[in-house]
Amino acid sequence: MADVANARTSRNGSEPSTAELVQRATEQVSRLVRDELALARAELTQKGKHAGIGIGLFGGGGALAFFGLGALVATAILLLDLVLPAWAAALIVTVACFLVAGILALVGKKQVSRAVPPMPSATVRSLRADMDTVAAAVKDRGRQ
């Protein structure tokens, strides 16, 4: 409240001078820019974490598909060969390995999509609101 009262009167009790208004505006814009940069930094950090998790899950899915097609395939085929022809056993195990790999890849894709676009959208919205507020204040000041 004291800032509002100070914004309307100068030190001598009359309307503030242009120099005082410019000084106040400069201080406020500087503080606003620092706050917006901090918000952007925090938002980009969060998006980077999601991208890292998604990339890790993609890698895990790929590794599982590779090793799954090796060790598990051989074991499962040999087990199924006891009750089915060898080609049917191999086909069933191959499909199962690719299904697990596909599920992991989809989960990883979802994590990466949460990080895109890398633009800090909350910061952009906040900056637009700040710009609208400043423009409205300048317009109102010009009408007085």
Q: Flag whether the pTM goes above 0.85.
A: no
The model's pLDDT over 94-137, given as tens digits with 9 standing for 90+, comes to 888 889 889 999 999 988 888 777 777 777 888 888 888 887 87
Q: Both tokens of residue 88?
A: 């049917």
CB-based contacts of 24, cutoff 8 Å, min separation 6: 7, 16
Considering only 2-6, 14-18, 91-95, 108-112, which range has the smallest mean pLDDT?
Answer: 2-6
Per-range mean pLDDT, top range of 12-26, 76-90, 125-139: 76-90
Residue type, 40: A
> In angstroms, rounded to a whole number, what is the distance separating the alpha carbons of residues 51 and 117?
11
Residue 115 φ then ψ, to 5°: -95, -5
Residue type, 18: T
Classify residue 93 as exposed, middle or buried by CB count within 10 Å of its CB (0-12, 13-18, 19+): buried
Q: Both tokens of residue 43?
A: 């938002």
Identify the pLDDT of residue 144: 62
With a cut of 60, say whether residue 75 has pLDDT above it. yes
CB 115 within 8 A of CB 124: no
Identify the pLDDT of residue 1: 41
Identify the pLDDT of residue 73: 75
Mean pLDDT on 32-43 = 87
Identify the pLDDT of residue 99: 92
Measured CA to CA in angstroms, residue 118 lies from 48, 81, 85, 108, 112 at distances of 8, 50, 52, 17, 11
Identify the pLDDT of residue 2: 46
CB 74 within 8 A of CB 81: no
Share of residues in the chain with pLDDT > 90 (%): 13
Q: What is the mean pLDDT of the chain?
A: 82
